[in-house]
Amino acid sequence: MTTLLRAQQIIEPKIEQVTVYTRGAEIQHRGMCGLDAGKNTVVFSGLSPDLNPNSIVLEVSPGNLTLLSVTSQTNYLRSVKDHAGISSGKDSLEAITDKMDLLTLQIEVLNSEKNMLFRNESIGGTANNVPVAEIARAADFYRNRMNEINLLLSQYKKQLLQFESRKTAFTRQLAELNAQFNPPTSDITVVVVANSAAPEASFSIKYLVDQAGWAPKYDVRAENIEGPVQLIYRANVFNNSGIHWNEVKMKLSTADPLLGAEKPTLETWDVADLNEQIRLTDVAIAAPNRRFLDNEKNAAADVAFVQLNVAELSTEFEITLPYTVLSDSKPYTVDVTAYSLPAVYEHFAAPKADTDAFLTAKITGWADLNLVSGQASVYFAGTYLGQSLINTASVEDTLAISLGRDKKVMLRREKLVELNKRQFIGNNEKETFYFETTVRNNRDKPIALELADQLPISTDGDILVESLEVSDGVVDKHTGRVTWRIALEPGTSKKVTLGYSIRSPKGAALRKQKFRSVSSPSF
């Protein structure tokens, strides 16, 4: 809608596209208006109050126009249609105000009557030939009327206090509703010179806002241990820019919109850091106000941010369908894309730590998918299994995703008591341990299993650990980890044995088994 105000036109340009970054967004508006030959002033209103004035980019066509100036300011007086709650609150506030005004007038009338009675209380006495009976009747009148006035004044003042309390409550409520539904907006004023009249000049305005962002959200689905894995890439998008994004085209980007014009510098590249797991805390945040988390929390938006590892080269996803994202800080799910990925399924088990086997899907070629590290909801055979982590910072060529516990693969780890023994040799003590692990495949398909256990590691020259039996397992001498690669046909079992001895000086206090911490009540 365009309104002509002398030589100034006011336009509310529509949002044409939004590019959402992991923190921040670029909002692009487009508006049309006619221009006269000569100098024209155009005001673009209804823009985000969060806009960064230094980021404004203006494009105008046709080409015979000269741009003289671009300025921005916050508009606190923009007229907007009231929200239903605001309209109701205003009506209630107006009704209370009317009642308070009426009570105030009644109190003024009563006070005036009371003053008048005080001024006219003398009616003479017997010396002025006024009968005593008249004096008595006058005294009764004054006394009764004053009591009536005082009683009414007391009642009206109490009612006035009650109305004042309700008025304060409605005023506060309206202030909150106005802040939520009628926030201030920004105006951008453009002065442009046209060499000739332009009946349809087109203006494109872009600017950055800080109160917006997106975080990755994945669904990983596998129907069986033979087919491909379906990776559904989604994003949680939030908007607290002060204006709603209604049915807009959207792009998601991993770029940093606040990078300056300074030339880049190369930081030290520590290869060891690439193997570190990304630690995300509560990316999925509790309903109804889910939050994106970070150490620094923005109090105004009630949204905080988490540090994500992304590729050095920025990635941009163009969203096919238009979406509506309201300016309410809540996350809105946006579908990005979906992949069907070939996978190799393998089981993993570490019965010393957990008595269940875990099914994993190993995906190759994931590095070409431009993924961002984040949480994934995992489904297997149509059943939700829980959350897993997609860590794109891994240096591995294969992306391993846990598909949860597989109860059809049975595990049992037992201590072989008959082979365990304790000996004293001179000033030394030698203790021998044997464990047997049995794995059974109760599935109707063959499986490949990686079985893991461990040998203790000695960091004391007086303590000697000797490996006695690993049943063809592969031993990592640095960590003590023992790994078996086992292929199991349906309905078959396999046993492996782990044996080792620990030789130490007599009386040495050794930690001969590992412990874990659990919570327990204290009485």
Give residue-wise pLDDT tens across range 237-266. 999 888 899 999 999 998 887 765 556 666
Does 419 lie in the same domain as 368? no
Q: 476 in a domain, yes or no?
A: yes
* Per-residue 3-state assignment (H helix, E strand, C coil) for 176-198: HHHHHHCCCEEEEEEEEEECCCE
Interacting residues of 313 by C-beta distance below 8 A, sequence separation 6+: none
Average pLDDT over residues 390-402: 73
The model's confidence at residue 181, banded by pLDDT at 50, 70 and 90, is: low
How many separate domains does the chain show? 4
Percent of the chain exceeding pLDDT 90 equals 24
Does 391 lie in the same domain as 299? yes
Q: What pLDDT does 513 receive?
A: 63
In angstroms, the CA 220 to CA 401 distance is 9
Q: What pLDDT does 370 receive?
A: 77
The model's confidence at residue 6, banded by pLDDT at 50, 70 and 90, is: very low
The region of weakest confidence among 95-99, 235-239, 278-282, 329-333 is 278-282
* Per-residue 3-state assignment (H helix, E strand, C coil) for 204-218: EEEEEECCEEEEEEE
Q: 448 in a domain, yes or no?
A: yes
Domain interval for residue 488: 409-505
CA nearest to 498, candidates 347, 349, 352? 352
Does 416 lie in the same domain as 285? no
Does 393 lie in the same domain as 366? yes
Average pLDDT over residues 151-176: 84
Q: Express each pLDDT in 193-209 by its tens digit.
A: 888 888 888 999 999 99
- CATH number for the domain spanning 451: value is 2.60.40
Q: What pLDDT does 414 receive?
A: 93
Burial class (CB in 10 A: 0-12, 13-18, 19+), 275: exposed
Does 500 lie in the same domain as 459? yes
Does 359 lie in the same domain as 452? no
Decide: 307 and 319 in contact? Cβ < 8 Å: no
Q: What pLDDT does 378 receive?
A: 87
* Residue 108 or residue 178, greater confidence: 108
The region of weakest confidence among 120-124, 348-352, 367-371, 425-429 is 120-124
Q: 396 in a domain, yes or no?
A: yes
Q: Express each pLDDT in 415-432 by its tens digit.
A: 998 888 888 887 888 889
Does 282 lie in the same domain as 400? yes
Q: 513 in a domain, yes or no?
A: no
Cα 10 to its chain centre, rounded Å, is 36
Residue 482's beta-bridge partner residues?
Answer: 453, 475
Does 90 lie in the same domain as 76? no
Residue 299 has pLDDT above 50, yes or no: no
Percent of the chain exceeding pLDDT 70 equals 76
Tokens 């049975």 belong to 410
Does 156 lie in the same domain as 39? no
Does 399 lie in the same domain as 339? yes
Does 432 lie in the same domain as 332? no
In angstroms, the CA 375 to CA 290 distance is 14
Does 440 lie in the same domain as 386? no
Average pLDDT over residues 155-163: 89
Q: What pLDDT does 85 receive?
A: 66
